[in-house]
Amino acid sequence: MKKVILITGASSGMGKETAKALISQGHIVYTAARRINQMQDLKLLGGYPIQMDVTNESEIEETVNTIIRKEGKIDVLWNNAGFGLYGSVEDVSLDEARRQFEVNVFGIAAVTKKVVPHMRKENSGTIINTSSMGGKMYFPMGAWYHASKHAVEGLSDCLRLELKEFNIKVVILEPGFIATEFGSVLIDNFSKISNQSPYKNSMTKIMEGTKKAAEGNGSSKPSVIAKTIVKIVNSTNPKTRYRVGKFAKPMVWMRTYLGDKMFDKIVMSQM
């Protein structure tokens, strides 16, 4: 059945790859991102790109109103916009940390708040929130990123219970290592931090590991996410969580069952 879908963060990586797959299946796909120039290929395929910043409430409202005016409903919202902020707690400014939460957490909340009333009216809908395996575990130098994804987990769990009576499903996507812009963003974050940082050695090791993963077989292709989202969209009863991509399942398993000290040893042994 053809569905009306809104995807945030669709200008690259997982969002763009999935948009292509959903458009090819005949769904009506609206793609939202700040970089609208990078979504023109989606327009040629039959998608509907919209320039929107998830931290700008008026832009969100305008986007949702446009879709409702044209389509009358939104069947699926995929809150995919987000980025990774890396650096030690000591080095990263609180302004940068607040920006991380504005996009990764409050951005999800802002878009959701505008879409939910329309889903309630239809007594139907699916909301997919992109968390990460990092929402269940942690790596050094990623405190603010992991904190934001842990928050996405809690937000989504509560939202799922709140919306159950309105027949609105809330699904949490927990990707592992995916070949996207994430690695380059991490390296850029580190490069902005002073060479005088007391954490320079740790940052160097993490950068080397990130580059090695990008060059080798350390990440899954975005297509694994696209297949998963397509499955969720086409399901009448999707699972609560989908953990997909390189290392996602084993890393979360280790974090859950091995305990803090053992998991700490495993993580630090990779540095």
Contacts of residue 226, defined as CB under 8 A and 6 or more positions apart, other chains included, come to 14, 17, 18, 20, 21
257 is catalytic: no
From 88, 131, 219, 220, the catalytic residue? 131
User: Which among 145, 203, 204, 205 is positioned nearest to 175, based on CA atoms?
Assistant: 145
From 20, 145, 156, 220, the catalytic residue? 145
Residue type, 202: S
Residue type, 242: Y
Q: Could you read off the pLDDT of 46-88 as tens digits, one per residue?
A: 999 999 999 999 999 999 999 999 999 999 999 999 999 989 9
Give percent of the chain with pLDDT exceeding 90. 79
pLDDT score for 4 = 98
pLDDT score for 7 = 98
93 is catalytic: no
211 is catalytic: no
Contacts of residue 236, defined as CB under 8 A and 6 or more positions apart, other chains included, come to none
From 20, 149, 169, 246, the catalytic residue? 149
Q: Could you read off the pLDDT of 7-33 as tens digits, one per residue?
A: 999 999 999 999 999 999 999 999 999
- 3-state DSSP assignment of residue 199: coil
CA neighbours within 13 Å on the CB side: how many for 182? Answer: 25
From 11, 88, 132, 220, the catalytic residue? 11
User: Which among 113, 3, 123 is positioned nearest to 60, based on CA atoms?
Assistant: 113
Q: Could you read off the pLDDT of 158-196 as tens digits, one per residue?
A: 999 999 999 999 999 999 988 765 666 666 777 777 678
Domains observed in the chain: 4-269 (3.40.50.720)
| Strand-pair partners of 51 | 33
30 is catalytic: no
Give percent of the chain with pLDDT exceeding 70. 94
CA neighbours within 13 Å on the CB side: how many for 245? Answer: 27
User: Which among 206, 86, 83, 209 is positioned nearest to 141, based on CA atoms?
Assistant: 86
pLDDT at 216 over 60: no
pLDDT at 135 over 70: yes
pLDDT score for 59 = 98
Residue 169 in tokens = 């499903």
Neighbours of 37 (CB within 10 A): 10
User: Which among 247, 119, 83 is positioned nearest to 175, based on CA atoms?
Assistant: 247
Does pTM top 0.85 for this prediction? yes
- 3-state DSSP assignment of residue 38: helix
Calculate the dihedral angle through the C-alpha atoms of 156, 52, 98, 128, rounding to the nearest 10 degrees: 10
